[in-house]
A and B are shown apart, each in its own frame.
Chain A
Amino acid sequence: MKKMMAAVLTLVMLLTVCVPFAAADGVLNVYNWGEYIDKQVITNFEKEFGVRVNYSLFSSNEEMYTKLLSGASYDVLVPSDYMIERLLKENMLQPLDRSTVDNLGNLCEGVQNLSYDPDNTWSVPYLWQTVGIVYDTTKIDPEKIEEAGWDIFLDPEYAGHTYMYDSERDAFMVAFKALGYSCNTEDETEIQAAYEWLIKMDEAVKPSYVTDEVIDSMANGEKWMALVYSGDAAYILSENEDMGYCTPKQGTNIAVDAMVIPANASNPEMANQFIRYITEYDNAVMISEEVGYASANAEALAELSGEGGTYEGNAAYIPRAGYEQDEMFHDNETLKKTLSELWIKVKLHE
């Protein structure tokens, strides 16, 4: 009996060791943001193409970048715009095989001809968003917030009723835009002015600095207003009908997350297939419907926001496109360092 057990255990151990190697041929390593896909799409892809998708998650572009630098090998990544800019600068990507990925005629307004990759040689937009304010329409007059835009964060009337997103890039973007600067400014006096604006904001509305917990909290109506990404806002609005969404008139940040293939990918052929698969209409609809972020596929966007669509009448679902004061972030590590240190000081300010 004991011998039997030992034999079985050895077999199990051997199998667990061997399986990953045996299947290495048919593995696709995908690295994406957390809660950013409909799992069914992956299962369908696995069935259709007979591969195993090894799907891992990151929570920030920097985390993804650090992992990549440490030598990890992935086949498909979904970083944001400025990070793609950096990966390109450092020759860490390989061009797409456009004979496989041949269905890009359908990109919607807002994600076409992006500065970091104007003709989609290296990347295909996945989902996109703007940054805006979700607010409780029973507490804040929509007209007032449209009029004030970002300056609503300086109104002491909302002290203790506000969430601020805990990210130096987004918080400083708010301050830069409120002051009429570019969110990519390197001008020291402008940075200093934005820092002082945020200190004023901290004193005026005494915000709670949060990250993803803002989604559930606002869906429960725990505070009156919050800085959120439009995709999360779309979810909040669909959960709580008292909530409204405002894309401030002073301009905001547009962010695009796009699929790319790293230079050291071990299965680039399948990676191109995967990217093509994700861009197809049905899958684009499934993904965007599940996560609430706007699809890069124009037809999918129209379907979901149109009559009978999941996000029909949802003010946050379609991000504002073509507005002159809206900007994308550019890769700038020195700026990021400066801002993150200032951001610690804002949060710990007494």
Chain B
Amino acid sequence: MKSFFRMSYPYILWIAVFIVAPMFMILLYALTRTGNSTLTFQFTLDNFARFLREPTFLRVLWTSLRVALLTTVFCILIGYPAALFIAGLPERRQTMMVLLLTLPMWINMLLKTYAWRGILLNFDFASETKVFIGMVYDFLPYMIIQIHTSISKMNPDLKTAAYDLGANKWVTFKRVTLPLSIPGIISGITLVFLPAVSSFVIPKLLGGGDYVLIGNLIEIYFLTAGDWNFGSAISLIMALIIIASMWATKKLDRNAQEE
């Protein structure tokens, strides 16, 4: 056991340098402002207050959450039947289908988004619709694969038993398949909602200049406005929301398992 623990040292070093240290830097930036030449920075909560006081920023936050939520819901609505269908196929064809599903993920996301931009140029959709289409397209495979894994893991005898006990197809699905696939849905939600809420390439390329999500706002403050303190504060608010939603899904997961 002890020797195994030693093997994780490189990994611990890795997170310390590349994850924990940058997080602390963001925290430091978010909690400070540039001072004068003697006192190079001062601690302050102004950055957060500035965000919460400005209706424009709050609207951006709300739009980001709304789009991410909508994307997640649609991914479940499209992804669940697809996963159910794939899980019902003979094993060899299942492998093939999963492969086909992951195929687009081999292509760089930027490239795919540019392709969508070309396609959507011909349609007179609202910016939000375009961004939404791009996000559902990009994140759908994550949802399908998660749900498919949890369905195909299920013991087929359970379904046979349900039929034996007089349940029809619908009741079997409602009482057996669906509850057992909830962990898959939940990890699918984590894999779709989190990247969707912080995505900035898709809104930038598909939404146009007047469509700003929270990820774009952070980019603007770091690259254009050069205000790293405020940019960090927004990142931190973002991180808090993400942690909260992860905690919520974890809790859902636990409740589902207890049932």
Contacts and interface: CB of A to CB of B under 8 A. Distances in A.
Contacts of B210: 208-209, 347-348
B56 A166 contact: no
A7 B172 CA distance: 59
A209 B209 contact: yes
Interface in A296-350: 333, 336-337, 340-341, 344-345, 347-348
Interface string B197-236: 0000000000011101000010011111111000000000
The B interface is mostly helix, strand or loop, or mixed, namely: helix
A241 interface: no
Interface residues of A, number: 20
Given A340-B224, A348-B59, 12 more contacts: A60-B223, A168-B224, A208-B208, A333-B226, A336-B225, A336-B226, A337-B225, A337-B227, A340-B225, A344-B220, A347-B210, A348-B60
A66 interface: yes
Interface of B: 56, 59-60, 208-210, 212, 217, 220-227
B135 to A, nearest CB: 20
Contacts of B225: 336-337, 340-341
Interface of A: 60, 62-63, 66, 164, 166, 168, 208-211, 333, 336-337, 340-341, 344-345, 347-348
A333 B226 CA distance: 8
Contacts, number: 44
Contacts of B223: 60, 62-63, 66
A63 B224 CA distance: 8
A209 B220 CA distance: 15
A69 B227 CA distance: 15
A347 B216 CA distance: 13
19 contacts: A60-B224, A62-B223, A63-B223, A166-B209, A208-B208, A208-B209, A208-B210, A209-B209, A210-B209, A211-B209, A336-B225, A336-B226, A337-B225, A337-B227, A340-B220, A340-B221, A341-B225, A344-B56, A347-B209
B15 to A, nearest CB: 22
Contacts of B56: 344-345, 348
Contacts of A344: 56, 212, 217, 220
A63 B220 CA distance: 11
Nearest to A202: B210
Nearest to A207: B210
A343 to B, nearest CB: 9
B151 to A, nearest CB: 41
A128 to B, nearest CB: 22
A345 B226 CA distance: 17
